[in-house]
């Protein structure tokens, strides 16, 4: 997968990037309740799982916007990936730990869903932190906390403050006013993503969910 270098000197985001990376190093998160009423009903009719469906949706919107695919490569160069794949957590009831598994993104929901099921079948019962080897560099993390309908969620990443990729966390869905909602938290770095971008992302996730007929039954 191609990593496209960014020419920082001629980048319209240069002053914002340098300010939030060097002067005021800053990450932030936003949590929103996403309506899934009709989508949840439909996937239950089709005997599909909600978690991989949400993973597909998040990966689809990530791949729509390069600010969510912007990061440093292994040599410290700034750029963005042509495409990114999700790396997601699965829970092990037996010992109350989790594993992180990745599945290559596919624009086709049905192909992605099948690949997800294959990865779970092959690696889901291996109680290791990363049971599926050779995770590519162009992945981003998703986790699920399906036991609580949280109203806010914040990650504190203690490194050099240069982790630029988004981190997504979903919670337990709930009913309110005869509709079903699920909390979704998005953690981003202000150097590459402003409030406008994260707002657009959340709104687009909601739009993809509301228009599930256009992709849920694809081949």
Q: What is the pTM of this model?
A: 0.96
Q: Is residue 6 part of a domain?
A: no
Smallest Cα–Cα separation from 157: which of 148, 166, 170?
Answer: 166
**Mean pLDDT split into 10-residue runs, the chain, 219 residues:** 95 97 94 98 96 98 98 96 98 96 97 98 95 96 97 86 95 98 98 98 98 86
E runs forming strands in the chain: 3-5, 27-35, 70-72, 78-81, 85-92, 97-102, 139-144, 167-170, 174-176, 179-189
Instruction: Report how far residue 59's alpha carbon sits from residue 43's, in angstroms, rounded to the nearest whole number.
Output: 18
Q: For position 152, which CATH number holds?
A: 3.30.559.10
pLDDT, position 155: 87
Instruction: Report how far residue 95's alpha carbon sits from residue 155's, in angstroms, rounded to the nearest whole number.
Output: 24
Q: Is residue 148 part of a domain?
A: yes
Q: Is residue 187 part of a domain?
A: no
158, 161, 166, 171: CA torsion to nearest 10: 20
Number of independent structural domains in the chain? 1
pLDDT, position 86: 98
Active site residues: 190
Q: Is residue 121 part of a domain?
A: yes
Q: Is residue 186 part of a domain?
A: no
Domain boundaries, position 165:
30-74+81-180+202-214
pLDDT, position 152: 94
Torsion region of 132: left, alpha or beta (phi above 0 gives left; psi -120 to 50 gives alpha): beta
Q: What single-letter DSSP state applies at residue 19?
A: I
Q: Is residue 16 part of a domain?
A: no
pLDDT, position 159: 74
Instruction: Report how far residue 42's alpha carbon sits from residue 176's, in angstroms, rounded to the nearest whole number.
Output: 19
Q: Is residue 9 part of a domain?
A: no
Q: Is residue 189 part of a domain?
A: no
């Amino acid at each position: 997968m191609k990593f496209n270098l960014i020419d920082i000197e001629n980048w319209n985001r240069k002053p914002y990037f340098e300010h939030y990376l060097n002067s005021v190093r800053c990450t932030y998160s936003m949590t929103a309740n996403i309506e899934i009423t009709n989508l949840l009903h439909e996937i239950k009719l089709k005997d599909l799982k909600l978690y991989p469906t949400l993973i597909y949706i998040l990966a689809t919107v990530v791949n729509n916007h390069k600010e969510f695919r912007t990061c440093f490569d292994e040599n410290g160069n700034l750029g963005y990936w042509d495409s990114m794949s999700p790396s997601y957590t699965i829970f092990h009831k037996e010992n109350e730990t989790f594993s992180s598994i990745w599945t290559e993104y596919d624009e086709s929901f049905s192909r992605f869903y099948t690949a997800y099921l294959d990865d779970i079948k092959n690696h889901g019962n291996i109680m290791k932190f990363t049971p599926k080897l050779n995770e590519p560099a162009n992945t981003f993390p998703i986790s699920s906390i399906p036991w609580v309908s949280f109203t806010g969620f914040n990650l504190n990443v203690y490194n050099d403050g240069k982790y630029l990729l988004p981190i997504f966390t979903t919670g337990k869905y709930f009913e309110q006013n005869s509709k079903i909602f699920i909390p979704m938290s998005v953690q981003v770095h202000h150097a590459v993503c402003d409030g406008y971008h994260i707002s657009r992302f959340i709104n687009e996730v909601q739009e993809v969910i509301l228009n599930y007929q256009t992709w849920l039954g694809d081949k």
